Amino acid sequence: MHMESLHFIFFLSSVFIILTHYNGVTCISNNNNNGNLPILSFEEGYSHLFGDNNLIVLRDGKSVHLSLDERTGSGFVSQDLYQHGYFSASIKLPADYTAGVVVAFYMSNGDIFEKNHDEIDFEFLGNIRGKEWRIQTNIYGNGSTNVGREERYGLWFDPTDDFHQYSILWTHTHIIFYVDDVAIREIKRTESMGGDFPSKPMTLYATIWDASDWATNGGKYKVNYKYAPYIAEFSNFVLHGCTVDPVEFTSLKCENGIPTGITPSQRTKMESFRKKHMQYSYCYDKRRYKTPPSECVINPKEAERLKRFDPVTFGSGRGHHHAKSHRRSRFVSI
């Protein structure tokens, strides 16, 4: 498996706000049920970000097609800025040959905090025909782009066959990624992580883009526009959090019923998912981290299992990671 560093430069605006202090908003809720949260139409929650006519809102107003063709990718962005909450979309990925195509559903404030942004990512990494899509999760906090915390997973279904729900729960102390109703990753805020835990208000994004310009493997896995347009479908938008005034950075309103964390039965499911489907974790990437970042809990059995998926990481030292992008640095393995 060959790993490449991708740099995605993404200029949204030139707003530049320097804040030395941000006092977080407290959201209190005892409801753990993610199933009953209101579903928004596209117009209620999101705005067009880029890609002209490659973003199509379907007639029901609740589904969106984002496409990538020779001209451009496309994307949308939430109208509101959030400090914590539960954010979800159902996504159906493009089928067949999708090498070099990346679909992302993520939170970021890179347009506001150019030098010390936060980010929480779901990224879907396209593949050559016959191989599965993989998903990657990652976070950055306060500009920690030199410490990627990527994990990659296979899925227990084909994400091009149908819609599946991908969700991010972000609280003051935890970040949880869900696929359908399965929690797949929990990031606990630890003292030693310092500013690396996302803590400033962010907006939601969904994008499809051509990652082949950043891949350096001889053009072998470039996006092939013979198969374009690549269409990612989105629906079931949930934006259930605490909104923040984009100018004053004061809290506006917290929705009721934001999930607070993970239940014991979800935890059991999560552990079994990770045993079966996790293919890469930064915690075991000795090539990048001689000493794993402080929050890592190393499990020798897990290390042994992950070695199978990525002999490069554990073995020959071929390839090279560099995360020098000030904006978005992407590690994609194709």
Ligand X SMILES: *[C@@H]1O[C@H](CO)[C@@H](O)[C@H](O)[C@H]1NC(C)=O
Binding site for ligand X (CB under 6 A): 116, 142, 194-195
Amino acid at 199: S
Active-site residue, from 43, 70, 114, 123 = 123
For ligand X, which is the closer residue by CB, 70 or 191?
191
Q: How far is the CB of 294 from ligand X (least distance, A)?
A: 14
- Closest to ligand X by CB, 141 or 259: 141
Q: What is the DSSP string of 41-59?
A: PHHHHEEEEE-GGGEEE-T
Shortest Cβ 202–ligand X spacing (Å) = 15
Distance CA(92)–CA(98), nearest Å, equals 13
Q: Measured from the CB of residue 171, what is the shortest distance to ligand X in angstroms?
A: 17
When the beta carbons of 48 and 326 are compared against ligand X, the nearer one is 326
Q: Are the CB atoms for 124 and 104 separated by under 8 Å?
A: yes
Helices (H), 134-287: 264-277
Cβ-proximal residue to ligand X, closest one: 195
Minimum distance from residue 293 beta carbon to ligand X (Å): 15
Q: Determine how β-strand 182-188 pairs with β-strand 64-68.
A: unpaired
User: Which amino acid would we find at residue 227?
Assistant: Y
DSSP state, residue 116:
S
42 close to 250: Cβ distance less than 8 angstroms: no
Task: State the Cα–Cα distance between residues 108 and 115, nearest whole angstrom.
Answer: 13
Residue from 4, 70, 119, 302 carrying the catalytic annotation: 119
Q: How many CA atoms lie within 13 A of 156 on its CB side?
A: 13
For residue 304, indicate whether it is catalytic: no
Would you say 191 or 248 has its CB closer to ligand X?
Answer: 191
Chain centre to alpha carbon of residue 89? 12
> How is residue 180 written in tokens?
């359908």
Q: How far is the CB of 196 from ligand X (least distance, A)?
A: 8
44 tagged catalytic: no
One DSSP character per residue, 149-167 reads --EEE--SS-TTTS-EEEE
- The residues annotated as belonging to the active site are 119, 123
